[in-house]
A = this chain, B = another copy of it.
Amino acid sequence: MENFTFYSPTFFVFGKDTENEAGRYVKQFGGSRVLIHYGGSSAKKSGLLDRVEASLQKEGIPYVMLGGVKPNPRSGLVYEGIELCRKEGVDFVLAVGGGSAIDSSKAIAAGTLYDGDFWDFYSGKPIEKALPVGTILTIAAAGSEGSPDSVITKEEGMFKRGAGSNAIRPKFSILNPALTQTLPPYQTAAGITDIMAHLYERYLTNTKEVEVTDRLIEALLLTMKHEGPRVIADPDNYEARANIMWAGMVAHNNTCGVGRSQDWNSHNIEHELSALYDCAHGAGLAVTMPAVFKYVMNHDVMRFAKVATRVWGCQMDFDHPEVTALEGIEAFRSFLCSIGMPKNFEELGAKEEDIPKLVDVLCNGDGRGGTISGFVTLTEEDCTKIYQAMV
């Protein structure tokens, strides 16, 4: 196991009706003038925003609102949010929504206290300070409610890039599984896929002897395998929603990723797809992961055989571990299809003729030097083959 530090100081409030406590927690964590940052009309229609506003009013906390966050959140709205926070003297950003609203809120929180262009943080500059952020989560997927990470797409050039810092970790996160019950099946499935991707990205490691984190990752994959189909079959299943929601947080606060190298090539390869086609990140991952896994499988076939037997219930072929490894990848792919995720470029709305452009932005965009690295280092040629396998 490698040396590491682990820090997850977010205060989590989990369960039914917990969004009504938002005002109390904003106050507890020092907020006195709030930006409520949210996505589309669903938070308004469902009455969620009304309840959040009421809870702030109850505590006598003034607020301004900025909606319109879209999936794959854009830099344009971040600039707008930063300007609004400065103008209004906001000292706390409250995200209401999924990973997009939270990531956009984190960017606004960091950008408000920074003199330069906030995009600097998404080009490698460390974030040293930020306004405190709180979240009310409505989609179990990104894990942003318990992570130091934020991913934003720059409209100019459509670069999708991430930044991370303890300064933008949420002070508190309110997780009410009932709020995810209104999510359409496709978005629910995309969230499930994203959570499983966070687990696989950590599972694909070059660090030896990491039984504890291997087992924790497998535990969460098994949970998703069990609860995913239940929630697709019955969107109102609170218990299944609750298990998925907590799994989504633990999958990404790094409890199960510490002390080991991680992959993240699937995320990088997918990011170009959702940046170009504006598809759901989880849907892009559903198409990307099996292609990546098959391509890199022989780098450590026993690792793929392990997840195949421990999670996917495959019988180990001791004479031909590669058969088991492949069977596990196919089982994962079938699982993703069964919950309604796309399996190829066509179903995703991606185009074969764009592959050279995708590869170029992936491997050379934003200062990268022709390769991406993770479990295996991948060249432009490798990435081309991987995208082609998705067609």
Q: How far does the alpha carbon of A140 sit from the alpha carbon of B167 in the complex, in Å?
A: 31
Chain B residue at minimal CB-CB distance from A166: B11
Complex contact A209–B7 (CB within 8 A): no
Report A232 CB to chain B, min CB distance, Å: 15
Q: Is the CB of B216 within 8 A of A212?
A: no
- Report yes or no: B212 in contact with A220, Cβ–Cβ below 8 A: yes
CB neighbours (8 Å) of A250 from chain B are: 212, 216, 255
Q: Give residues 13-48 of A contacting B (CB, 8 Å).
A: 13-16, 18
Find out whether the CB atom of B15 lies under 8 angstroms from the CB atom of A243: no
Stretch at the interface among A106-114, A222-230, A275-283, A366-374: A222-230
Q: How distant is the Cα of A239 from the Cα of B242 in the complex, in angstroms?
A: 34
Which of B211, B212, B239 meets A1, CB within 8 Å?
B239
Closest chain B residue to A12, Cβ basis: B6
Chain B residues closer than 8 Å to A218, beta-carbon distance:
219
Given contacts A7-B11, A258-B14, contact A1 B243 (CB under 8 A): yes
Whether A5 and B12, one on each chain, are in contact in the complex, defined by CB atoms closer than 8 angstroms, is yes
Q: Is the CB of A223 within 8 A of B219?
A: no
Residues on B with C-beta less than 8 A from A13 are: 5
Task: Give the residue name and chain of the B residue nearest to A13 (CB).
Answer: B5
Q: How far is the CA of A216 from the CA of B258 in the complex (A)?
A: 16
- In the bound complex, do residue B212 and residue A223 qualify as a contact, i.e. CB atoms below 8 Å apart? yes
Contact with B along A225-264 (1 / 0, CB 8 A): 0110000000000011011101100100001001100000
Q: Collect the chain B residues with CB atoms within 8 Å of residue A8's CB.
A: 8-9
Chain B residues, CB < 8 A from A258: 14, 246
Q: Please name all residues of chain B whose beta carbon is closer than 8 Å to the beta carbon of A12 when the two chains form the complex.
A: 5-7
A246's contact among B9, B223, B240, B259, by CB below 8 Å, is which? B259
Does A318 interact with chain B (Cβ within 8 Å)? Answer: no
Chain B nearest CB from A6 CB (Å) reads 4
User: A246 with B15: in contact, given A219-B218, A219-B219, A239-B1 (CB under 8 Å)?
Assistant: no
Asked whether, in the complex, the Cβ of A212 is within 8 Å of the Cβ of B15, the reply is no
Q: How far is the CB of A189 from chain B (nearest CB, A)?
A: 18
- Contact status B6-A9, CB under 8 Å: no
Residue of B nearest to A11 (CB): B7
Task: Give chain B residues whose Cβ lies under 8 Å from the Cβ of A16.
Answer: 3
**A210 touches B (CB below 8 Å):** yes
**A86 beta carbon closer than 8 Å to chain B:** no
**Which residue from B4, B208, B223, B255 sits with its C-beta under 8 Å from A211?**
B223
Is A351 engaged at the interface, CB distance under 8 Å to the other chain? no
Instruction: Report the separation of the CA atoms of residues A100 and B212 in the bound assembly, to the nearest whole angstrom.
Output: 25
A215 at the interface (CB under 8 A from B): yes
Instruction: Please provide the 5 A-B residue pairs with the shortest distance between their CB atoms, ordered closest to farther.
Output: A3-B15, A219-B219, A9-B9, A209-B239, A215-B219
A contact residues vs B (CB 8 Å cutoff) = 1-9, 11-16, 18, 177, 208-213, 215-216, 218-220, 222-223, 226-227, 239-240, 242-244, 246-247, 250, 255, 258-259
Besides A6-B11, A212-B243, 7 other A-B contacts (C-beta < 8 A): A7-B9, A8-B9, A14-B258, A211-B223, A211-B226, A212-B220, A246-B258
